[in-house]
Amino acid sequence: MIIAIPNVLSIEQVTEARRLLDAADWADGRITAGHQSARVKENQQLPEDSPVARKLSENVVAALERSPLFVSAALPSKIFPPLFNRYQAGHAFGLHVDNAIRMVRGTAHRVRTDLSATLFLSGPEEYDGGELIVEDTYGPQSIKLPAGHMVLYPASSLHKVQAITRGARVASFFWIQSMVRGDAERAMLFDLDLAIQRLNRDVPDHPSTVQLTGVYHNLLRRWAEV
């Protein structure tokens, strides 16, 4: 399940984030790559202990907590502290799969990576290339969203970032451990939740709303790990 989530950050928030990121000291992006990924990764990354990274990471998490669509789609249990990367001309990230478990730097906390997320901080008009390509059931999906928008996709998916030929692609990326581990079960709950919301909007107080809400929570109770 690949889901685009619009307007996670406002235009003002994106502008402030870019102001801080453009003045920050970037490092080789391979610092967080696994052995296999490091062989195909060519980009820059903000060090995890950078004050700018920490501040912006907190801002992103706060924005996610205010997004009903994100909560419904991800059913988050843990969010890996968001990281920040930059692809400039010639940079790319070849086909790879994300590590199953990520250790939160400086802690004993681990996050199982059920979902991967990319929050775009550059608009599509700012760069050429740089599409996120996710291998889906229906074939490769090319994703290039407006600044402030985010895409969620299964971390088990093969994916890559196409080479940049002009400009710079700046983004936040991170992983989510969901209360519901399976992508298929999580997708069914998401579809059911959206249907309940539509029913409640189009036919307020319809008795089926209560019945379907009960089905939703009983399925969540069956599948959730908390």
Check the annotation: does 159 bind a ligand. Answer: yes
Check the annotation: does 96 bind a ligand. Answer: yes
Check the annotation: does 98 bind a ligand. Answer: yes
Write out the chain in H/E/C secondary structure.
Answer: CCEEECCCCCHHHHHHHHHHHHCCCCEEHHHHCCHHHHCCEECEECCCCCHHHHHHHHHHHHHHHCCHHHHHHHCEEEECCCEEEEECCCCEEEEECCCCEEECCCCCCEEECCEEEEEECCCHHHEEECCEEEEECCEEEEECCCCCCEEEEECCCCEEECCEEEECEEEEEEEEEECCCCHHHHHHHHHHHHHHHHHHHHCCCCHHHHHHHHHHHHHHHHHCCC
Instruction: Report the binding-site residues.
Output: 96, 98, 159, 169
Residues tagged in the binding site annotation for 2-oxoglutarate:
169
Annotated binding-site residues for Fe cation read 96, 98, 159
